[in-house]
């Protein structure tokens, strides 16, 4: 019984992970960034509230804003261009 329940739970976790990674999409523009949280709800943050970005040492980059945090997967298409953009934005916010 326990091994059957464990197998079901493991299958559910793998299914969720595959769905989350395959459906994950972050969008940014000149006013802010939008990305899903772990419950697939879209979260939006304004660049005016942006503080910093840090590597969490695993699979995400964490963006810190005045009113919260956002985790972005490191292996997204276009992430290098995005990191350059955010680094420039971080420098601008520090200067102002």
In tens, the pLDDT along 28-70 reads: 998 999 999 888 899 999 998 999 899 888 888 999 999 999 9
The 3-state DSSP class for residue 80 equals helix
3-state helix, strand, coil in the chain (%, to 5): 45, 30, 25
Q: What is the mean pLDDT of the chain?
A: 88
pTM of the model: 0.76
Extents of the domains making up the chain: 26-95
- Give 54-76 as a DSSP string: EE-SSSEEEEEETTEEEEEETT-
DSSP state of 31: S
DSSP state of 38: T
Asked whether residue 96 carries a pLDDT value surpassing 70, the answer given is no
């Amino acid at each position: 019984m326990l091994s059957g329940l464990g197998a079901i739970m493991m299958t559910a976790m793998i299914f969720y992970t595959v769905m989350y990674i395959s459906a994950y999409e972050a969008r940014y523009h000149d006013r802010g960034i939008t990305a899903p949280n772990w419950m697939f709800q879209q979260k939006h943050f304004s660049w005016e509230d942006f503080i910093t970005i840090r590597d969490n040492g695993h699979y995400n980059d964490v963006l810190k804003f005045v009113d919260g945090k956002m985790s972005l997967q490191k292996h997204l298409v276009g992430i290098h261009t995005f990191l350059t953009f955010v680094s420039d934005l971080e420098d601008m916010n520090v200067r102002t």
